[in-house]
A and B are shown apart, each in its own frame.
Chain A
Amino acid sequence: MKNDQAGISTLESILARLMLAGVTLSAISLAAGLALWLAGRHTTRLLDVGLIALLATPMLRVAVSFLEAIRMRDWFFVGATLTVVLLLCASLVLSFRAAGL
């Protein structure tokens, strides 16, 4: 448990890059989508891309943490991240059902 201090730091920087990429992608599509919207082109497609990218970013974060926990054989971390993954899946299933898909 003590030896993974370095592993945790590496994981943190991987996750940081992932978060930055997700937010950047999202911000670009939201800005473009909002500009189109204000210009009178009332389509929400680009906006939806931005919002879904925003939602996907923390989800990916949890998924990457889970895979990394397995690689590090840190079973406490595996258990915690797996539970969160399952909770997020439950949320998605309920959402698809609420949207009638």
Chain B
Amino acid sequence: MVVLAGAVAGCLGALLGIGGGVFLVPFLQFVVGVPLNVASGVSLMTVIATSSIVSAGSAGRRLVNLRLGMLLQVAASGGGLLGAIFVVKMPDRALFMMFSFVTAVIAILMLSRLDKRNVILDSSIDPGPFGGRFYEDESGREVVYRTRRIPTAMSVSAVAGFVSGSLGIGGGILQVPALNTWCGVPLRAAAATSAVMIGVTAVASAPLYYARGNVSAPMAAAAVLGVLAGSRAGFWFGERARAKWLKLLMAAVLAFVSITYLMKAL
């Protein structure tokens, strides 16, 4: 059952570049019935697995923006470490409330910008130090984008890292929509870059969970193997899905997560 849950979570996670933890944590907590910190610890291991397999698979497509990723990584792993340190001191209820609020806001933002495109079709334009270019299937040519509002991207990454380290989900769920909506990074590039980053972010907090005995080894193994199988499927679908549908799907996912955590907090 944990393998299957991991597979579903991995598929959705790879598809959306968010890591599957957002589904796995509530599942492990409510269906399997483990404490939250164990659910988070196991989930963090699957986040690392998803991230590693997606970064291995996405190389050469130029979707991953390594330069931007490395810069944001500083904020994200700092946040992740702080999250793992403070999680033992924070009341669950406050965390769930905050998380529910943030995901709801982002879901609304995504829906309000369904038809916006962030790419510049003239490929001779200089993308700047943190922009990038990649071949987009939908327009059938190489597209260019610039990254705007780097400080915003840094702040969101720090918050995402903190949430990742304290709730055990991949911080990508916050990063991808923010990079897409506020910083002008195309959804595919944002998802691919984030997928690479969340693994390192999770590694800033996962050793602490492991050391505290919150990573149940057999459960983590089952979940990781499920996620590895599922993320292959997710990556395959991701290549073939349209950006608009990806956004709609992601908004639906966020709404679901928001309601789940609100109900947990009340």
Contact = CB atoms under 8 A, between A and B. Distances in A.
A, B co-complexed: yes
Interface of A: 1, 8-9, 11-13, 15-17, 19-20, 22-23, 26-27, 30-31, 33-34, 37, 44, 47-48, 50-51, 54-55, 57-59, 61-62, 65, 76-77, 80-81, 83-84, 87-88, 90-92, 94-96, 98-99
Nearest to A47: B217
A34 B222 contact: yes
Contacts of A12: 59-60, 64, 66
Interface of B: 45, 48-49, 51-53, 55-60, 62, 64, 66-67, 70-71, 73-74, 77-78, 81, 84-85, 129, 199-200, 202-208, 210-212, 215, 217-218, 220-222, 224-225, 228
A26 B211 contact: no
The secondary-structure label for the interface of chain B is helix
A20 to B, nearest CB: 4
Contact of A87 (B45, B58, B204): B204
A19 B78 contact: no
Contacts of B84: 91
Contacts, number: 146
Given A34-B222, A92-B207, A95-B207, A58 B129 contact: no
A1 B70 contact: no
A87 B77 contact: yes
A16 B56 contact: yes
B228 A27 contact: yes
Given A58-B51, A58-B52, 7 more contacts: A19-B53, A23-B49, A51-B220, A54-B49, A62-B200, A87-B204, A94-B211
Given A12-B66, A84-B74, A91 B205 contact: yes
A17 to B, nearest CB: 8
Given A15-B59, A47-B218, A84-B77, A26 B208 contact: no
